[in-house]
Structure 1
């Protein structure tokens, strides 16, 4: 299983940052674009996308790995 990918506010842009990394892998003008990029990485690494709001708090997450307790929601 690879690193979880965090979508975080980075100044006036949104960044995708691998868990434990100090710098963003890539920055985007919108959160939506950053989430799509993070999903691609997470699917390849069988990891999770953790989406942070403007305030830095986690607002959502999606697992693309071998989750032992998969969620029952169907929002994505």
Structure 2
């Protein structure tokens, strides 16, 4: 395998892992939705999650996925 092929594969693996990690992080995956729908909600006691769930039909697909994964 050439060095260039190895580097290309390494970058692909690194970036796919970073994307997965970000989508699993509710702060990263739901930040735009929070800013749009729940910016006035103070953190604590699950209030932000409750706000996002109340706006579920308007959320991004990534944020919905992260919220669903937290229910398990």
Name the structure where helix makes up a greater proportion of residues: 2
Q: Which has the higher strand share?
A: 1
**What TM-score bracket applies, with the shorter chain setting the length?**
0.3 to 0.5
